[in-house]
Structure 1
Amino acid sequence: MRRAIRAIAATALLAAGSITAFVVAGPAQADTQICEQFGSTTIGGRYVVMNNRWGTSAQQCINVTSTGFGITSQQGTGNTSGAPVSYPAVYYGCHYTNCSPGTVLPMRVSDISSARSSINYTFVSGATYDAAYDIWLDPTPKTDGVNQMEIMIWFNRQGSIQPIGSPVGNTTIGGRNWQVWQGSNGSNNVISYVAPSPLASWDFSVLDFISDVRSRGAITSSWYLTSIQAGFEPWIGGAGLAVNSFSASVNGGGGGGTTPPTTPPTTPPTSTPTTPPAGGASCSVGYSTDTWSNGFVANVTVTNTGSSALNGWTLGFTLPSEQAVTNSWNATLSGSSGALTARNLAWNGGVPAGGSTSFGFQGTYSGSFAAPSAFTLNGSACTRA
């Protein structure tokens, strides 16, 4: 599966800081229809259901029930060699600052005594999609933006699509056989477990998959589980696909992890960003992207290569023509196309010597895709990492 940012959010829910397009409805009682691009609601007083149409401008609608949701309309068309058009899903935990009611996530993996989940799907024929179960982890108790590790469990796939990366072997988890794929989508690392035949329902231990990923050296026990999600990634069609029921429970042990961490806060501070100091800075910039037919996600890492700490930063760069930003996270962006500036938020303005900070944004483009040719930090030119 290809994706840049879910729920931008993403992120993104396709984001880490804020996503102005995110629409949150009240708790679902009777069936609720959501057609807003990033519309969401809660069910059972415990889970969040999100429409999360991040990769297309075409309509997608979901009907939310008391136990799950179904796709009633999906008009987008994705490139089967690229990313899907959306990720409608139900989840427990935190996703781009939107946390499910009463969740204990994020929780450090070493503090988790048990984590179980169950799912029941309805599949359809004639569409191109995967039934994707996501487990998200990060080195920090992150509640805002893209996590560094995504575990995907493909319960079903239809059409000429494949997971991110390449196959690295097979394994047995929960008494079932899985083909394992490993790679990166440019925003985060992904390890996918593909069922050899459609699996419409299952009750299983989430920790079994986390343990397998840890054994591959991709995470450690000090990482945090941030969310458990189940839904679909449609490329073409998808009306009739449904998560009939979903449940997830995570329990702490050893006296730790039974309540959400207090730092960083669930919602990043919204006070006025720190004013960057006068004068230049020594810096390098890493710019990685994930693209699909008419959109992209960019992740920018700014490293302070100077000998003194930064107390506030402003990064300047120019997007190539025919590119435009639709949303961003971890920074305040001025402008949406052409010459842009990204400015720190109140909570990430300090960057020590040798340290780095990162932010990202989602956008659209036409024609050939290219990265900005130059970056300046507080007025001084940066090298490319």
Structure 2
Amino acid sequence: MPSLRRYRLPSIILATAIALGVTVVWLAPNADASELCGRTDAIDIAGKRHVVMNNVWGADTAQCLTVDQDGGFTVSHSEHDKRTGSAAAYPTIYQGCHWGNCTLDSGLPIKVRDIRAARSSWRIDTADADGRWNATYDLWFHTSADVRRSPDGAELMVWLDRAGGARPAGTLVARDVALAGAVWDVYYADWHWNYIAYVRVDPTDRVDDVELAAFTRDAIGRGYLDRDWYLSGVEAGFEIWRNGTGLASNSFRVEVTS
């Protein structure tokens, strides 16, 4: 939901290709793991081409992540028990910038009108998790190229799965919208920035080469996103209100083409 989110590993399997404005980073799971338990703890992955954050921003309750050496992460401990309001946390992996903390060689920021494609693959495991949570992309937009500050343009979420009655902020503005090979319900709220959430009607635990630019184009058509704003960060993780122990992000890839 809309939020003021604040927020060393060797042996990394990494493939990076930079050509014609394209940056690709693939992260696969590894048994060796580190632990994040501080509210704002984060780990730089693959020479800071990605960052994994514990990111407990909406509650004082405890949460820990185990992060393998190649960027997969699991919520190993959660004491969250929020019944109303915003989420307690958004543990995530991201590429680009998050409140001034920017990864390297991300292809971001990029002006929205210059995005030719923004493809991503993400695989998650929610089988062992109960509670109230979602599994979602979170795309952030700035109104200028100065992205080492808080976002001021838009937040665009793409919900793949949810449990326990989790729902987006704002108002339902459209049902059964066909985008990127699936069907979505669309929510909108006007907060500190424009908030747009696309909720998958049929939940899934994986997407392969999903075209995130399809959602930006749809948001432009609805008047919620400006072509002259900048995509500054692509995040993938779990908004958690209650429990969430066992939620796992197994692999993540994002490719932005200008």
- Whether TM exceeds 0.5 here: the answer is yes
Q: Report Cα offsets for 1:6-58 as digits up to 9, x if no partner.
A: 2xxx1xx2xxxxxxxxxxxx346541111111111122332110000111222
TM-score (norm 1): 0.58
Whether the 8 Å CA contact 2:100–2:150 is kept in 1: the answer is yes
Whether the 8 Å CA contact 1:28–1:41 is kept in 2: the answer is no
Whether the 8 Å CA contact 2:130–2:245 is kept in 1: the answer is no
Q: Which residue in the other structure is 2:164 paired with?
A: 159
Alignment pair present for 1:213 and 2:219 = yes
* Match among 228, 242, 249 for residue 222 of structure 1: 228
Distance 2:211 2:10 in 1: 28
Q: Which residue in the other structure is 2:196 paired with?
A: 191
Distance 1:228 1:31 in 2: 23
Whether the 8 Å CA contact 1:3–1:84 is kept in 2: the answer is no
Q: CA RMSD in A?
A: 1.5
Q: Which residue in the other structure is 1:147 paired with?
A: 152
* Match among 135, 152, 162 for residue 139 of structure 2: 135
Which amino acid is 1:96 matched to? W
Alignment pair present for 1:237 and 2:237 = no
Whether the 8 Å CA contact 2:100–2:148 is kept in 1: the answer is yes
What 5-or-longer segments of structure 1 have no aligned partner?
Answer: 14-25, 253-385
What 5-or-longer segments of structure 2 have no aligned partner?
Answer: 12-31
After TM superposition, give the deviation of residue 160 of structure 1 in Å. Answer: 2.2
Distance 1:111 1:88 in 2: 29
Matches within 5 A, 1:69-108: 69-79=73-83, 81-108=84-111
After TM superposition, give the deviation of residue 73 of structure 1 in Å. Answer: 0.5
Aligned residues: 232
Q: Secondary structure at the match of 1:202?
A: strand
Distance 2:104 2:59 in 1: 29
Q: Which residue in the other structure is 1:172 paired with?
A: 178
Relative contact order higher in (CA < 8 Å, ≥ 6 apart): 2
Which protein has the bigger strand share?
Answer: 2
Cα distance change, pair 213–28 in 1 and its aligned pair in 2 (3 A): farther
Q: Which residue in the other structure is 1:31 paired with?
A: 33
After TM superposition, give the deviation of residue 3 of structure 1 in Å. Answer: 4.2
Matches within 5 A, 1:353-368: none
Q: Which residue in the other structure is 2:4 paired with?
A: 5
Q: Secondary structure at the match of 2:217?
A: helix
Q: Report Cα offsets for 1:206-243 as digits up to 9, x if no partner.
A: 11111010111112221100011100011110110011
Q: Which residue in the other structure is 1:63 paired with?
A: 66
Q: Which residue in the other structure is 1:283 paired with?
A: none
Which amino acid is 1:53 matched to? V
Distance 1:3 1:220 in 2: 18
Distance 1:69 1:238 in 2: 13
Q: Which has the larger radius of gyration?
A: 1
Q: Secondary structure at the match of 1:110?
A: helix
Distance 2:44 2:61 in 1: 24
Q: Report Cα offsets for 1:78-109 as digits up to 9, x if no partner.
A: 13x31110000000100011111222211111
Q: Secondary structure at the match of 2:116?
A: strand
Whether the 8 Å CA contact 2:96–2:109 is kept in 1: the answer is yes
Distance 1:191 1:28 in 2: 37
Distance 1:40 1:4 in 2: 18
TM-score (norm 2): 0.85
Cα distance change, pair 211–96 in 1 and its aligned pair in 2 (3 A): same
Q: Which portions of structure 1, spanning 4 or more consecutive aligned residues, are displaced by more than 6 angstroms?
A: none
After TM superposition, give the deviation of residue 251 of structure 1 in Å. Answer: 2.1
Whether the 8 Å CA contact 2:74–2:248 is kept in 1: the answer is yes
Which amino acid is 1:191 matched to? I
Distance 2:2 2:223 in 1: 23
Which amino acid is 1:35 matched to? C
Q: Which residue in the other structure is 1:122 paired with?
A: 125
